[in-house]
Amino acid sequence: MRLSTVILPVYRWSEGREVWRRAEDLGFHTAYTYDHLSWRTFRDGPWFGAVPTLTAAATATERMRLGTLVTSVKPRSPMAA
């Protein structure tokens, strides 16, 4: 049986690195994150982008698959600096 988990993008990378590594060490096949603008009780705290979070997670893990549960079209211009 393959098990997956969700890791919310609420961790600064100094802490998040260990969260993603721990998920892999626990044997999860896949770890997902959300690509929302915010999420319920986390509305007032940090909420990081899914693509940078997954990019960083890829540098910290070796075997686990990574992905988004939801990929949203953001209400901002991709041309903005």
Q: What is the pTM of this model?
A: 0.81
Query: Residue 55 — pLDDT band, cuts 50, 70, 90?
Result: very high
**Edge-to-edge strand order for the sheet containing 4-6?**
4-6, 30-35, 65-71
Mean pLDDT computed over 51-65: 95
Q: Which has more pLDDT, 76 or 11?
A: 11
Most confident of 21-25, 40-44, 48-52: 21-25
Least confident span in 10-19, 36-45, 72-81? 72-81
Taking alpha carbons only, the member of 52, 57, 48 closest to residue 24 is: 57
